[in-house]
Amino acid sequence: MSTDLSADLDAIALVDHHVHGPLRGSVTRAGFESFITESDRPVPPWMTQFDSQLGIAIRRHCAPLLGLPVHAPAEDYWAARAEFSPDELTRRFLGASGTGHWLVETGFRGSEILDPAGIRQHVDGRVDEIVRLETVLESVAPGATAGGLVDAFRDELASQAAGAVGLKSIVAYRYGFDFDPDPPSDTEIHRAAGAWLSSGDVTRVDDPVLLRMLLWEGVRTGLPLQLHAGYGDPDVELHRCDPLLLTRWLKAIEGSGTDVLLLHCYPFHRNAGYLAQAFAHVYLDVGLAINYTGARSSAVIAESMELAPFAKILYSSDAWGPPELHYLGAVLWRRGTAAALNAWVEEGEWSRADAVRVAAMIGGDNARRVYRLRDD
């Protein structure tokens, strides 16, 4: 039997445990390039975002799905892509990803991307929803009073969570992980709610007391709680998104029964691996970083498999927007995981059977257990 694990990896029906919708409509090249960087600044006229690990990976792996040779020039790629409708691109790329179950977070720029019902129309796999806590609070804020805000939030969260498999917090974006790890008092919440509601703009909650309230309310539901960690757009102050800053809060909620899933984590994925080893309720992925590091993603994947027990690592693409990202995340994860495991098997450090088993755990089994997914 060949030691090469590529075919075993290709055969895994992935659970993409953190992903967003593909684009609803067509996009200009400038718009597309803005979606293949985490920067929200305009791409300077003297460069193209195709000249990046992600851009080269798109030309390498996505071009054949549009009938082009691998490494087709960016201009050829763009001309070929323009011949397809948004729906056809979605069917082509999501269908080719080999993903069997999508856990879709709907809270970010939801009007531009397909919602779970829209995704279901284009894929054979199952689609479930993850609810973003901050978006729920922002949806009930107009018309709420300082004394009634928490109850309004609880009612809306109960309604939305009833149809969801997990929750998500972006406290890393809105404040940072260096927040007070204790639950806020009713007095603190009342004061913070009053100040926020009277500020004249309740479209974006960034008050640390209210963000802590959301985290503790999320923990109370018992649903798995995803936390953005590490790398993201310039809205984050990256030095405040190291998951090690969560250590005291993670200890405070230990025993609550709620699992915490640290998303992306790059470049702090080794720190996240430590937390996943130290605490039974902590998990990690390196989702966003897999696409963005392209040909180097095999190294990031291997690093994510250092300290963390293998029952604590999950696959995700964190794709948002261009459906290339939904496909590429899966391709690069399969390739990077196969590369890491192949090396360890060939060195005689791992058995082939263990490698196949661990790949299946990370590719889907762990997510099915943590999110209590049915019928996969």
Cβ nearer to Zn ion, comparing 332 with 338? 332
Cβ nearer to Zn ion, comparing 307 with 330? 330
DSSP 82: T
Question: In whole angstroms, how close is the CB of 140 to Zn ion at the nearest point?
Answer: 23
Query: Amino acid identity, residue 45?
Result: P
Query: Amino acid identity, residue 21?
Result: G
The answer to whether 24 and 114 are in contact (CB under 8 A) is yes
Question: In whole angstroms, how close is the CB of 260 to Zn ion at the nearest point?
Answer: 16
* 103: enclosing H helix or E strand: strand 99-105
Distance separating alpha carbons of residues 351 and 55, to the nearest angstrom:
35
Cβ nearer to Zn ion, comparing 134 with 318? 318
The answer to whether 250 and 260 are in contact (CB under 8 A) is yes
Question: In whole angstroms, how close is the CB of 318 to Zn ion at the nearest point?
Answer: 4
Distance separating alpha carbons of residues 305 and 341, to the nearest angstrom:
10
Question: In whole angstroms, how close is the CB of 85 to Zn ion at the nearest point?
Answer: 25
Q: What's the order of all strands across the beta sheet hosting 166-169?
A: 14-19, 99-105, 126-132, 166-169, 225-229, 260-264, 282-284
Distance separating alpha carbons of residues 72 and 58, to the nearest angstrom:
10
Cβ nearer to Zn ion, comparing 104 with 359? 104
Cβ nearer to Zn ion, comparing 90 with 342? 90
Question: In whole angstroms, how close is the CB of 333 to Zn ion at the nearest point?
Answer: 15
Cβ nearer to Zn ion, comparing 169 with 366? 169
The answer to whether 212 and 282 are in contact (CB under 8 A) is no
Residues 301-330 that bind Zn ion (CB under 5 A): 318
Binding mask 25-64 for Zn ion (x = CB under 5 A): ----------------------------------------
Question: In whole angstroms, how close is the CB of 64 to Zn ion at the nearest point?
Answer: 27
Q: Residue number with the shortest CB distance to Zn ion?
A: 318
Question: In whole angstroms, how close is the CB of 228 to Zn ion at the nearest point?
Answer: 7
Question: In whole angstroms, how close is the CB of 17 to Zn ion at the nearest point?
Answer: 11
Cβ nearer to Zn ion, comparing 320 with 344? 320
| Greatest CA separation for the chain | 68
Q: By CB under 5 A, how many residues form the interface with Zn ion?
A: 1
Contacts of 167 (CB under 8 A, 6+ apart): 130, 131, 132, 133, 161, 218, 221, 223, 224, 225, 226
Question: In whole angstroms, how close is the CB of 221 to Zn ion at the nearest point?
Answer: 20
The answer to whether 228 and 251 are in contact (CB under 8 A) is no
Cβ nearer to Zn ion, comparing 207 with 318? 318
Residue count of the chain, please give it. Answer: 376
The answer to whether 215 and 171 are in contact (CB under 8 A) is yes
Distance separating alpha carbons of residues 234 and 188, to the nearest angstrom:
29
The answer to whether 330 and 299 are in contact (CB under 8 A) is no
Cβ nearer to Zn ion, comparing 196 with 333? 333
Residues that bind Zn ion (CB under 5 A): 318
